[in-house]
Amino acid sequence: MKLSIITVKKNLKKIRWLRNFCRYLIDKYDKNIKAPRIYRFLNDKYSYIPEKYKATELEPIRILDEWQGEAYPVWVIWLQGEKNMPDCVRICYYSLLNNADGHKVNLITLDNYGHFVDLPEFVLQKYNKGIIPNAHFVDILRMHLLSKHGGLYIDATIMVTVPLNLLKLGTSFWTFKCKDIYTLIGLFYVPKMGSHYVSYLKECFLEYWKKEDKLFSNTLDCYFLDVANIPELMEEIKQVSLYGYNIFSLEDMYNEPFEEKEWAELCVKYPFHRISYKFPFFLHQKRKLTIYGYLHNKYMKS
């Protein structure tokens, strides 16, 4: 057993290189071959959705009355529940609880989502049959939650390293935006009722699954945004600051030695960090505590 662990540790750099190279090849295929096909498909079958938005005078966005004191709800989804979280996901969840700053954190599971939103019967039927995958069922859930309640949605694999009240999110729609206006990932802050972004994607997801029995892309929301061209929606997204391009930077560093000063500086500079539960983590490397080991000790004591 020790030999296999040592072997894995020695080959981590090779694994990272191979993973990054595979990502490069997949991105190239998606951009040059897959994406144009999906754009044509969505334009042919679902252009009526953005056309409806363009033909309708959209209602002005209004701030939720109960948010005048900035007490927004926080949403995180792990369908299997807290007890079935992998350790790295549990670390993310506990880091959120630790930094909630008085905001109510709602963990949404298969057992309790019905207390917060009502999903159409055809969505539930297709999900129970395995047609709608877990990841996209979560996408549908998060849009329903934000549409009905507003608040801060944060992906279950994102670690929070600063108190939420220090972020000063304000009264504007906010999300991670990486390099362009379409790559919106992981975290959504919707402090207003009637967000065009949320209402549009919610309708797109429902219309899509009314007709389809296959998910053509895990980034379906980005494709729908790309074909939208709705002025009010695009203006809402353009106002989002370019932030988040380093959200993945720690993925290759969790097995590096922990240095307190460097970690403190990193937390202040980047308050959110993505952790992939599909990647191997170690508590120690060469007898030194790793960053992951530090996080495990901090959040997994109980």
For residues 215 and 173, the answer to whether their CB atoms sit within 8 Å is no
- Reported as half-sphere exposure (CB side, CA atoms, 13 A), residue 264 has a value of 3
Residue 253 sits at the vertex; the CA angle it makes with 247 and 259, to the nearest 5 degrees, is: 110
Q: What is the pTM of this model?
A: 0.81
Other C-beta atoms closer than 10 Å to the C-beta of 220 total 20
Handedness of CA 148, 200, 72, 68 (dihedral sign): negative
Rounded to 5, what percent of the chain is helix, strand, coil?
Answer: 50, 15, 35
Number of domains in the chain: 1
Determine the Cα–Cα distance for residues 12 and 182; give it in Å rounded to an integer.
32
Query: Tokens standing for 99?
Result: 């930094």
pLDDT in tens, the chain (302 residues): 444 555 544 555 555 656 665 655 555 555 555 677 888 888 889 989 988 877 776 655 554 444 444 577 899 999 999 999 999 999 999 999 999 888 899 999 999 999 999 999 999 999 999 999 999 999 999 999 988 888 888 999 988 888 887 666 555 566 665 555 445 555 666 655 567 778 888 999 999 999 999 988 887 887 888 788 777 777 766 666 555 446 776 777 888 899 999 888 888 777 888 887 777 888 998 889 999 999 999 988 65
Query: Tokens standing for 224?
Result: 């729908």
Quote the domain boundaries for residue 271: 1-302
Length of the chain: 302
Other C-beta atoms closer than 10 Å to the C-beta of 151 total 22
Largest CA distance in the chain: 66
Beta bridge partners of 106: 75
